[in-house]
Structure 1
């Protein structure tokens, strides 16, 4: 990429979270197991997308490899040292910055001419040449299915979009009008034209083994105030796709990726390329990505091969170890820069150390895919899938109180009570629940509960048989939510409940991510990636009243409950994911 091999100055970045916490220290208290917390700006935590592992494929320019079936096969199927074969990457980003004939597709390069409409069209056609690039990928997957069977996922493609040059006058015409890229609308029009061209090429190529997931902005920083990515992102989403971005470390605008119209952004650490940068860089990048709800990028190239004279192998190993330490493999979508041919060269190497590191990388990818996909019980994004699956959900109350909008599933009480739950349909004993939603009611009588309830009330009615609540909201105090658990012995009626009270001020009506991770001995709640409440089983199972303190070794179902005197929508659910 443009700035990967440049030396970056050490930049000091100071988060405001500590200041915010200090400022609100007077609000903090610990009384009868209650904790008052001040949330940082939403949303935190590593970003996840429908692509878990996205490998960058530099293709188009005549100076690149052709990416034939043989060249792309090691990215689709991993052949281990013991000759065991398995699926590798689930996402493929095709991108280019230069055509190799003297034209640039991005202002970040100097010394060449600015690509015109004819070079843009040439690049779009190159991506869909027979036997190469995207078509080769489709064929390779088809062949692999004959040997490995159907994968547990769909292979997805993301395609790069050239960035118009601000001063360019000779790009060409659209609809008989000569475009002038000093004009904002002309730059937007050129990008929309290119998106339409790529979309058309993809559909007409009949790529039955691939899905077009979205488009990628090739610039790695926001170098001008005249950015057009908001309009482009809206246009991409109108076609049912997503807008991707991978800014370099501490680049201009990296932390504001949402404001620029992107759906997901990955952060480049830029550690691999410069030995003057110490190993803390990868950890720092992970922390920044977590703070700003970004995915992470792993970076390496042929210099990581054991036989390389430059010997960068230890730097790749540091990425892997730090990603493990920071739970990147567990919770983040990851992009992989591998220098344009790195994975292929590792796969062709006869050196056992190269085989070993490629086996390790594959095992980490396969393990996280198995954990996330094969343990998946249910997942739905209500922004794109506007339907209620009656095999999963039951609506209690007036069905007209549940409706779909462009933002997701809106639920109102209709002036009474509305519940939507998985009772008698989906239940789990231990697992993970993740819900992305925003509260939209301004009515002080609105009450919202996102919670897990027992399938069988073996110990009696609520709260005796237990409850785990990811979020409890009361419109009387919209600046706060509660997170925690109710049991027979410790509950809100008795006033000794083990819960956390979170303060988010006026930010309650923004998107937030609520997570409950439930194991046999410990239950952890997160809001926007921040750990906010922990329930631990510290009770003696030999004690006769053990279940009265810890009733969470039974099956529970998930429920969204709304009550209000108002008929206005109370909450908008963007997505729900349930893993066993």
Structure 2
């Protein structure tokens, strides 16, 4: 009888061990997470520029640089392309420094050669969530020698030979992908252990700590790559939270923010109009939050609503985003609808003291400022100069 009991205990223990092992490593669907080759990063290691930094670096005019997804055309930001975001020549052929800060970000990787993954919950294509391998590839894209930050560094060097050094080095902000709880965001029954491993631990994104630790790994990998590249004209100034609402990640935002800010980096956010958390962004742990009016995209929104959004930003101490895309081009069939909506931003931001008091982020649809610049249409040329003058004449800009 004793032997039967001992065998029963042994059998029960073995089955429980097998069950726990399967649950922790395979997830609800029985899939094993991909285990890519990833760099070993020392958590919290301080680099020289971090040790000497006494405060978060300031900037006034941050342009969004979308890149990394294979659906982008062109795929890369080379020196020629990104140079038009570094300086601007006015109608008298006088050259000026343009944006002082560059936010590198991506939402998904689709198209020929792409992984068909999303970096954010906010996708409408039922894509799978990006894993550790995809996060690493995105960082490697940003830090490739001939494109991204490398191209930006050289473009600034080229401009310095003509203009001398700017008052401050150009700032760089890097987006953090969302650690999505399930492999297929739209299916909560899909596995939560798809992402990868850290220090031999299979990450389970149903656990908040694992999601935070994945973000810390990503932040440390960005920092290590920046240290490796030794750019002469750039400073790593901060990180950006890709989610545009607090709804999907409110349980981890503050922990990620604490980690970012311990190295004197800014923690940036660009919530859409009315997004959950926009009115308590500081409590969430962000350094700066840029409010999206969404006026350009919502043709049912009146100019009065844009003015109201400006007043909301002032009341809640939010910075703001100016928005436009390819539809402002004279060649676009919807030009007559969208051209005046872009102009509305410049008017409202000046009328409501946003232009002269607030940090601004600029969404231009992934290359459409360059499209305006290169257009042979006079209306496009006029809009290009009006916009660039709007940027370079701001009283608070860091030069």
Same structural fold, with TM-score higher than 0.5 when normalized by the shorter chain? yes
Q: Identify the residue that residue 274 of structure 1 maps to in structure 2.
A: 298
The offset of 1:49, in angstroms, is 7.5
How many Å separate the matches in 2 of 1:257 and 1:133? 29
1:157-556 equivalence runs, <5 A: 157-167=172-182, 168-224=192-248, 226-311=250-335, 312-368=338-394, 373=398
Q: Identify the residue that residue 153 of structure 1 maps to in structure 2.
A: 168
How many Å separate the matches in 2 of 1:80 and 1:206? 32
- What runs of 5+ residues in structure 1 fail to find an aligned partner? 1-47, 375-580
The offset of 1:227, in angstroms, is 2.1
Do the aligned residues in 1 keep the contact of 2:346 with 2:390 (CA within 8 Å)? no
Do the aligned residues in 2 keep the contact of 1:81 with 1:356 (CA within 8 Å)? no
Greater fraction of residues in helix: 2
Per-residue CA distance 1:327-361 (angstroms, 9 max, x = gap): 11110000000000111111111222222222222
Are the structure 2 counterparts of residues 233 and 275 from structure 1 closer, same or farther at C-alpha, using a change threshold of 3 Å? same
2:53 corresponds to 1:54: no
How many Å separate the matches in 2 of 1:203 and 1:179? 27
Per-residue CA distance 1:125-168 (angstroms, 9 max, x = gap): 01111211111011100000001111123210100001111233
Are the structure 2 counterparts of residues 320 and 226 from structure 1 closer, same or farther at C-alpha, using a change threshold of 3 Å? closer
Query: Could you tell me which of 47, 69, 80 is aligned with 2:79?
Result: 69
Q: Identify the residue that residue 120 of structure 2 maps to in structure 1.
A: 106
Question: RMSD value over aligned CA atoms?
Answer: 1.6
Q: SS in structure 1 opposite 2:221?
A: helix
Q: SS in structure 1 opposite 2:340?
A: helix
Are the structure 2 counterparts of residues 230 and 173 from structure 1 closer, same or farther at C-alpha, using a change threshold of 3 Å? same
Per-residue CA distance 1:286-331 (angstroms, 9 max, x = gap): 1111111010100001111223211111111111111110111110
TM-score normalised according to structure 2 size:
0.79
Q: Identify the residue that residue 25 of structure 1 maps to in structure 2.
A: none
How many Å separate the matches in 1 of 2:139 and 2:248? 26
Greater fraction of residues in strand: 1
How many Å separate the matches in 2 of 1:372 and 1:170? 44
Q: How many residue pairs were aligned? A: 326
Q: Identify the residue that residue 419 of structure 1 maps to in structure 2.
A: none
The offset of 1:77, in angstroms, is 1.0
Q: Say which one has the larger Rg.
A: 1
Per-residue CA distance 1:157-198 (angstroms, 9 max, x = gap): 100001111233110100001000000110010000000001
The offset of 1:373, in angstroms, is 4.7
How many Å separate the matches in 2 of 1:133 and 1:373? 23
How many Å separate the matches in 2 of 1:353 and 1:63? 29
How many Å separate the matches in 2 of 1:240 and 1:225? 22
The offset of 1:56, in angstroms, is 0.4
